[in-house]
Amino acid sequence: MTVSSKPFRLGLIGARRYVGTELIRLLADHPSIELGLVSSREREGLPVHDFEPTAAKGLRYVNATPEQAILEDLDVLVLALPNGMAAAWAHAFDLAGSRAIVLDLSADFRFDTDWHYGLPELNRRSTDRHKRISNPGCYATAMQLAIAPMRGQLAGAVACFGVSGYSGAGTVPSANNDPDNLRDNLIPYALTGHIHEREVASRLGCEIHFMPHVAPHFRGLSITASLPLKSPITSSDAEAHYRNFYQGEPLIGIQSNAPWLSAVANTPSALIGGFTASEDGNRLVVVSVLDNLLKGAASQALQNINLALGLNETTGIL
């Protein structure tokens, strides 16, 4: 583990969005990383502290270009931008020969083999010090955590029913993040071909049928996964297998009962449980829940940043 007397400097591009807010809050308590650049076009010139009370006073939002960010001598650049906007930033830092770690929170590089796919519990290696990191999707994280322990036993497509709070629909107003529209409601969307369906299929090498829905709560998501199996299993054996698979993982909890969203909201942890085998044992149902803004985005990004900097993985998280 690296110990640095001088804080690492981090730049955040797209700071007005929900995940940017969460990352600013996490970094306020991080002993080894400080915010050196906070970029938001809409809030240019305004004090960050006015919107994010945990941020250091004196720091102001800027509307940075990639060229300006390169001059900031950053150790880490976090791109919290909508899909389709990260490439220009990554390309500029590559051309400049920047030493900065670039972490992208969008889907832009999740299928790019030149970028590290940062789901630590499934692809962590002690020697990894990656410079280009793609943060997994929130739903994709929950699905992979639920499916990965049984990946070698799958006999066919995995069906995943997903429900997320409306923060997952972003800050741009739409029917899927309008509290009035969502009141006493559950909205299905993108029922085939969702990008997280393709993301999980590409990472785990199996067929995924994903059916996402938006619910009236603000944060947290739940996945109920139905796994067809090659060989029969009992519910108790499945639970024991998952406990062994995730043994020692500080941010993964395993429980017998199906976990509730309220148990993970505002926490960096994922919970997996509800292990239920069919009568013949050839189908297993598993429930996975996490906070879509934290383990599904900001705190997982900080996990990846800590690992890339050689810091303890959970610094500033636990």
- Give the residue numbers annotated as catalytic, written as ranges: 138
Q: Are strands 221-228 and 158-164 parallel, antiparallel or unpaired?
A: antiparallel
What does the alpha-carbon distance between residue 186 and residue 227 come to, in Å, rounded to a whole number? 24
Tell me if 225 sits within 8 A of 146, measured CB to CB: yes
Q: What are phi and psi of 235, to 5 degrees?
A: -60, -40
- Going edge to edge, which strands form the sheet with 158-164? 187-188, 208-214, 158-164, 221-228, 283-290, 270-277, 252-254
Positive/negative CA dihedral, 251, 257, 262, 263: negative
CB 71 within 8 A of CB 101: no
Residue owning tokens 């630590």: 120
d(CA 77, CA 99): 10
